Structure 1
Amino acid sequence: MRFIALKELDKTEGTVQLREGNVCAFTFLTNYAIGGLAPAFPTLSQEFNKTPGETANLLLWPILVLGVFNFFWVPLANYFGKRPVFVIASRILYVSYIWGACAKSFRSLLWSNIIAAFAGSSTEALGAAMVNDLYFLHERGFFMGIYMNSISGGNTIGPLICGFVVESIGWRWHKWMAVIFTAINFLAVLFFVPETRFDRGSEFAASPESLSLRPEDDIPAQKMATVILAWVVAINIWNTFVLQAPPYSWKPSINGLINIPGLLGNLAGSFTGGWMVDKYSDWRARKSHGVFQPETRLFMLIIPGFIVPVGCILFGYGVERTLNWTLLFFGYAFVALGLTAVPTIGMAYVSDSYLPVSSDALLLVNGLKNIVAFGFLYGVVPWVTKEGYVNVFGTQAGVFVAILALAIPLAFYGARLRHRTAQWRIVLRN
């Protein structure tokens, strides 16, 4: 059977967009209710008599689970299909939010977040793989950017709304709102998300560009995708304890407004890493007589490579020196740009290079991203306490630049690497 994009089989464009919209909503709601709880951290810390470090576990352990359980859901979806996985996981997400809204202890609330992350982890790699199922090469970056915005948007829109909810009617209503939204989304997934797997055929799978990977094989660009999540979550954790304490003394509702520049940064990052990269790649392909090289996407990493370190330094100095809030807003916006730009570019590159096994390739990228972020964030609270914000965020800026520099040799020699790794190919069995 020859490779046929599923989009060609649809009678209307709207059918494809509806499928992606439902999965994006699923992804958004995972981060909306878990990461969105950040403005309530000082309140929760007092209510349950927990330190800031202990309260941060409400976000840290779900991040680890979001990464680890990619390795559970992706093989399951490869065997049974994506649709049953999404239906089951969206149901679990709905039930776990009811649990969280009714939680009477910190441990109960923590475990409800962990189970929610277990369900939500099904979309981390499979949602991106669905983009590959539904869209063509020249539009992959744009729609990958939309998908990445649904992930990052939960971490910005969630806290923005939660700040007002916590101040007016309490943090539990933030969870109950998530229950309502996830119940609606569960029904939408149940009735409107069909299976998107299809047979790619041996003819397509045989080219050097389309490799079947073993779990132990390294994926180029995966190291770059592991860095940026930790920076944004670190800001989400610390800004609530800083801005709601003297000398800022902001209310939770005002504190939530810091996510407006975060949201704008996410949108700018998805535009930069998605649409701009697609157009740049098209231009480079025309200059190369119609030959497209996935490595052309990597050259656009230069934009977040300059902007994100500036954001880290601005936020670090702004917090430690208690400078004007506008400096913190700009710093967060610059870092948030990288949250969508870098993964969008990296995941589109991986998909271009390993399309027939994109679910497995993206599994490694997303799984490692969250595991590395957890490891970093687990130690960031004592690190900041000991070294201060300037040293910590300054070091983060340097680490980001160093890791992103790995893209330089990959941009020039990635094609050779892809052809060489063709020797690792094993038979792809659908």
Structure 2
Amino acid sequence: MGFLGVLEDKHLQHVPATVVLAEEENHRMEATAGLKHGTGKDADIILIPQPSSDPNDPLNWSYWKKLIIMFIISYGSILYAAVFSPLLSPALVNIAMEFQRDVSDITVISGYMLLVTGASGPFVSALSRKYGKRPILIASSIFGFVGTIIGSATNSYDGLLAARVVQGFSISAFESLVVSIIGDLFFVHQRGVWVTLIQFILGAASNFSAVIVGPITENLGWRYLFHILNAFTALECVLLVLFVPETAYIRDRRYEIDELADENLSELAAVERRHEANLEKDDENDMARLETTTTTPPALRPTKTFVQELSIFNGTFSDDNLLQLVLAPFAVCANFAVLWVVIVTGGLTAFFVAQSYVMAQIFMAPPYLLSAAGVGYLSLGPFIGGLLGSIFLGTILDPLIKWCAKRNNGVYEPEYRLLGMIPSLLTGIGLMVFGYMAENHFSYYVTATFHGMDLFGICCATIASSAYAIDAYRDMSSEIFIAGMVFKNFLFYGFSYFVNDWEVRSGPAVQFYVFGGVSFAMILTTPVFFFWGKRYRSFWHRHNLLEKWGIRTHAEL
């Protein structure tokens, strides 16, 4: 039994994703001494995955370059994934009155956008796996820009629907690919803070947009939401083209030491020493490596120039056919741990989105009688809650897994990420108390506080489970987050059809008691994957259904 009760496996000598992280506490220093390590305070940390000798390997890029890329990607996520979805929420009643429609009809407009987002997800996954992430991100950004232009020019219900549908094609890439880009750019011990940032953007930043959207709607009209967004979406298109090169990279398989069942660290270390001495040569005893499109040794490849990095297309990164790649996000759900991550992150987020659907309906009615701006200001509660949750888990998650690894003889288990699920129990409490207070007309300051509590818990859950998915099944990370994005957006679409009517029929108390109860049920399944997760990773490696079906999720040329 490992540290904190993670059950050891009896079938494999080395379970994929279990890695030596803290060398000073490990007894295999001789085997790992030749591997690349971190610097400064992380000097004892073995870099996982190991970067290749190629200067164009994204893992070898300067930290400043990585920061610029993440800034631009995060900015895009704020626009397309965080702002677009709740853009009309505080203005639902105003738009319904202008078009003489029911509030539920206006909610369905955003529902159609989310339906398009979910339906386009598998194609985003397939195309990005085949041709890289850069062209897909640029195309998605252009869709967002065009949809915003349509929204700013429309004067009809159908025109607004068309604008939201076009915008829907921009969202899936910035909800899913951005998370796998973290795995492209950063090592295991660096990922926690970036996963936290992206999950904060996807979960909490949307609430701050509502604070701005409400007053704009109240003072200038809802069309100005689109007018103002035009400039921001145009800027993102330019930044992506100029400063976000392709992050997909075909790395020699031996460097992916977190994905292999046979570590063979001493052999890899020996190869690295030969690289350093410029004595790299073909050796029949070397670990199996991927074929590449060039015979030039990685260490001798020239660094790409700025102009070369502007290329939209950089070849193909998989020889699988597109149909197989489209099916991959659904196929990965045959893995129960992946399915659990998809359901937990999608389900909890869907409950929060359903909460946003009924906010205007609850608080613009008696006895609250708030304006659109007032409803928008209520989103400060969940924004602060999400911010605190993200700061809390972002601050402790990476140090926590390092601490656990050192007390586990230097060996890191991805299940340690799931310790971050403990604060997510606040989700159920927040949802239930919010429903009770809204039903009994408590002060909206108090309801906003518990609204913030449930998002605090949701952020902790999504950050912890997403980080677990990246570390435990990194070779499937793109497909996992595409599957999660598809699942939750289909849920959003389904909820748009009934949550408003359900709130009218039953009141917010019953509605949020159900949401809270289901949240508790999902979160309380976490110990199964914490204690038995390592054994399941071993089982999956030995009985990988994707291999039996001929579906590959790792770029193998």
- The interval holding the TM-score normalised by the smaller chain is over 0.9
Deviation at 1:137, TM superposition (A): 0.8
Deviation at 1:7, TM superposition (A): 5.0
| Counterpart selection for 2:441 from 309, 313, 322 | 322
Deviation at 1:377, TM superposition (A): 4.4
What are the equivalent positions in structure 2 for 1:25-424 lying under 5 Å apart?
25-30=75-80, 31-204=82-255, 207-208=260-261, 215-216=330-331, 217-218=334-335, 219=338, 220-305=340-425, 307-423=426-542, 424=544
Structure 1 stretch 55-64 or stretch 81-90: which is displaced more?
55-64
CA distance in 1, matches of 2:255, 2:538: 15
Deviation at 1:285, TM superposition (A): 0.8
The verdict on how the C-alpha distance between 1:139 and 1:150 changes in structure 2, with shifts beyond 3 A counting, is same
Maintained 8 Å contact 2:357/2:496: no
Maintained 8 Å contact 1:138/1:282: yes
Deviation at 1:422, TM superposition (A): 0.6
Question: How big is each residue's C-alpha offset from its partner over 1:12-69, in whole Å with a ceiling of 9 and x where there is no partner?
Answer: x221111111111111111313412211111001011111211111322223332332
Deviation at 1:164, TM superposition (A): 1.0
Find the structure with the greater CA-based Rg.
2
Q: CA RMSD, aligned part only?
A: 2.1
The verdict on how the C-alpha distance between 1:346 and 1:65 changes in structure 2, with shifts beyond 3 A counting, is farther
Task: Give SS of 2:342's match.
Answer: coil
Task: Give SS of 2:441's match.
Answer: coil
Structure 1 stretch 56-65 or stretch 187-196: which is displaced more?
56-65
Task: Give SS of 1:388's match.
Answer: helix
Maintained 8 Å contact 1:163/1:256: yes
Maintained 8 Å contact 1:81/1:195: yes
Question: How big is each residue's C-alpha offset from its partner over 1:248-282, in whole Å with a ceiling of 9 and x where there is no partner?
Answer: 12222222111111111121222244332222211
For 2:185, the aligned partner's letter is L
Structure 1 stretch 238-247 or stretch 394-403: which is displaced more?
238-247
Structure 1 gap ranges (5+): none
CA distance in 2, matches of 1:367, 1:138: 28
Maintained 8 Å contact 1:3/1:200: no
Task: Give SS of 2:412's match.
Answer: coil
TM-score (norm 2): 0.73
CA distance in 2, matches of 1:214, 1:93: 23
Structure 2 gap ranges (5+): 1-48, 264-324
CA distance in 1, matches of 2:151, 2:362: 26
Deviation at 1:286, TM superposition (A): 1.0
For 2:450, the aligned partner's letter is G
TM-score (norm 1): 0.93
Question: How big is each residue's C-alpha offset from its partner over 1:351-403, in whole Å with a ceiling of 9 and x where there is no partner?
Answer: 10111332122222222232234334433223223222111101111100101
Structure 1 stretch 34-43 or stretch 287-296: which is displaced more?
34-43
